[in-house]
A and B are shown apart, each in its own frame.
Chain A
Amino acid sequence: GAVVSQHPSRVICKSGTSVKIECRSLDFQATTMFWYRQFPKKSLMLMATSNEGSKATYEQGVEKDKFLINHASLTLSTLTVTSAHPEDSSFYICSARTTGRIQETQYFGPGTRLLVL
């Protein structure tokens, strides 16, 4: 299957700092990547859809100025949590949609655990 990586896997930061999370598709090009957030014992909640070369589309209730998304290339999307606060602590997961295949699906990265102190 397709491989998606995320970096870092875990990050601890102080309140008020910004954190950047990278999502890479390693063996395929992804015109579309998605960013999810998962709270403990909850489902994955889609935050935004990232399209290469254009602005991200945010889901209702997600602050676009707080969660900056950049999709500069067909293999890389970044999520920057700006001025992080303890309530931003969560598990962030990206996925990349394959193209040119008969069966479309999304492949997920391993996730990034963010803890804001």
Chain B
Amino acid sequence: DQQVKQNSPSLSVQEGRISILNCDYTNSMFDYFLWYKKYPAEGPTFLISISSIKDKNEDGRFTVFLNKSAKHLSLHIVPSQPGDSAVYFCAASVGSNYKLTFGKGTLLTVNP
């Protein structure tokens, strides 16, 4: 039973355009969501997070949107750069539990 789902295994965009990565979850107890970026044979790098009390969090080129009613969150990267090419994981946790449940990841390729 996959509680965090990233239904698009891959996404390809042109440099300078917007990248939108999507994530759905089924566990309504999740109240903290994170996005990680991962290169092959490396550990994930934290990008941005959002608490369930918010619906938007922005950090530079990265913005995360949370729609609790739809149990959906998305990561927007604008403008996209070739260096953004990596696998992006969506993760969620329940309050103070801090155990992260990860999605399967989406491979983003930004073409020059």
Which residues does A use to contact B, with CB under 8 Å? 1, 4, 6, 32, 34, 42-46, 49, 91, 93-95, 97, 103-111, 113
**Which of B43, B98, B100, B104: most chain A CB closer than 10 A?**
B43
In the bound complex, residues from chain B placing their C-beta under 8 Å from that of A32 are: 98
Given contacts A44-B102, A108-B44, 17 further A-B contacts (CB under 8 A): A1-B46, A6-B43, A32-B98, A43-B89, A43-B102, A46-B100, A95-B100, A104-B32, A104-B98, A105-B46, A105-B49, A106-B34, A108-B45, A109-B43, A110-B43, A111-B43, A113-B41
A-side contacts of B100, CB under 8 Å: 34, 44, 46, 95, 106
Interface of B toward A, CB cutoff 8 Å: 32, 34, 36, 41-46, 49, 89, 98-105
Chain B nearest CB, measured from A2 CB (Å):
9
> Would you call the interface of chain A mostly helix, strand, loop, or mixed?
strand
Bound Cα distance from A9 to B103, whole angstroms: 24
Chain B residues near A107 (CB, 8 Å)?
A: 46
Contact of A106 among B46, B101, B104, B105 (CB under 8 A): B46
Instruction: Judge whether A4 and B99 touch: CB under 8 Å.
Output: no
Asked if residues A4 and B43 are in contact (CB atoms below 8 Å), the reply is yes
- Contact A43/B104 with A105-B49, A106-B98 known, Cβ cut-off 8 Å: yes
